[in-house]
Amino acid sequence: MNIEIICPLYNAREYIDDLHLSLMKQKKVNISQISYVLTESSDDTETYLKDHQLNYMKIKKKDFSHSLVREKSAFKSEADIICFITQDVVIEDDLWLYHLTKDIIGGQVVATYSRQLTKYNNIEKYTREYNYPNYDLIKSKKDIKKCGLRTFFFSDAASAIKREIFVELGGYDQKKLPTNEDMYFAYKLIMNDQKIKYCADSIVYHSHQFTLKELYERYRLTGMFFKENSYLNHFGTNQSGGGLAKYILKRILQDRRVDLLFRYPFDMAARLVGMKVGKR
C-alpha cells in the first residue's frame, strides 16, 4: 500500500528542515507523497518550501481548521493510507512509519497512532506516560464498557488511517472542529465496528512547556468540543480526567518532584476551569 503524509504548517521554519529530512529517511514503506498545508505565516516557511521544491498548498488564516484542512487533503489523496502528522513532532526512528502502518497493510486494523514521548521533565512527562504506555493496544467497540471515553482516544499528531475508510465514513463531516477532531473520527470508527491500534513501537517526540494560560485555553477548546459533541459525555469525561489527575500526582510523589508538586494544583485547576468554561 502507498502512503501519503499530510502535515499542516504554520510559522514552521524552525521545524520543517529536520521534519522533512526525517520523513525522507523512512524505510520499508512506500511514501507516494508528502503534502504540506501552509497557513499564511509571518516567518519564511514558504520560502523554504519553494526553495526545496516541496509539495504544498497555501490557505488563509480564516480558512484554517484542524478538521477541515486534514479532511480536504485526505479527500483529494489517491493513496491507500493517509498519515496525519503535526509540524512539531520529532521523528528519530527511520522505521517509525513502518511500525505505524504495518498492521493497516496487514488488514488487522484500519487506523493507528504513535506513542508520544516528551523531551521535557515536566508534568507533560506523566500525561504522556498515562496516555501512551509502553505496550500495544487494539481498541474496538467491545472495549467501551471497560475503557469508557478512553476507547476513543486517538492522536493525529502522528497517526495513519486507511483512506478508503476515512472517505467512506465522511471524514469529519465537514465540521469546523475547534480541537479533538481525532477523537471525533475515532468515535465514528469504533461505532462502525472498526478497530484502532496504538503502536507503542512507533515513537515520536512531542514536547511542550505550556503556561497556565495556554493550558486553560487548550482545555477551554476541549470543553467546547464536548459541548458540541455532548454524546461523548455519556462515556465518562469526568472519570477520564480524574484518572489522569490521580496518575500524575502518584508519579510526582514517586519521583519526589517537589517543584512539580507546587505546580500540580495550579496545573490541574487550569485544566478543570478551562474545561468547565468551554462546556458552558
Contact present, 46 and 58 (Cβ < 8 Å): yes
Q: Which residue has the higher pLDDT, 168 or 235?
A: 168
Per-residue confidence band for 234, with pLDDT thresholds at 50, 70 and 90? confident
Residue 236's pLDDT is: 77
pLDDT (tens digit, 9 = 90+) per residue, 12-46?
999 999 999 999 999 999 999 999 999 999 999 99
Whether pLDDT at 241 is above 90: no
Contact present, 239 and 155 (Cβ < 8 Å): no
Return the H-helix or E-strand segment holding 19.
helix 13-24
Per-residue confidence band for 238, with pLDDT thresholds at 50, 70 and 90? low
Contacts of 257 (CB under 8 A, 6+ apart): none
- Write down all domains in the chain, each with its CATH number in brackets: 2-205 (3.90.550.10), 212-279 (no CATH)
Whether pLDDT at 239 is above 80: no
Query: CA end-to-end span of the chain, whole Å?
Result: 44
- Please compute Rg for the chain using Cα positions: 18
**For the whole model, what pTM was predicted?**
0.94
Whether pLDDT at 62 is above 70: yes
Task: Give the mean pLDDT of 99-121.
Answer: 97
pLDDT (tens digit, 9 = 90+) per residue, 158-187?
999 999 999 999 999 999 998 999 999 999
Mean pLDDT of the chain: 95
pLDDT (tens digit, 9 = 90+) per residue, 179-231?
999 999 999 999 999 999 999 999 999 999 999 999 999 999 999 999 999 99
Residue 16's pLDDT is: 96
CB atoms within 10 A of CB 76: 11
Whether pLDDT at 114 is above 70: yes
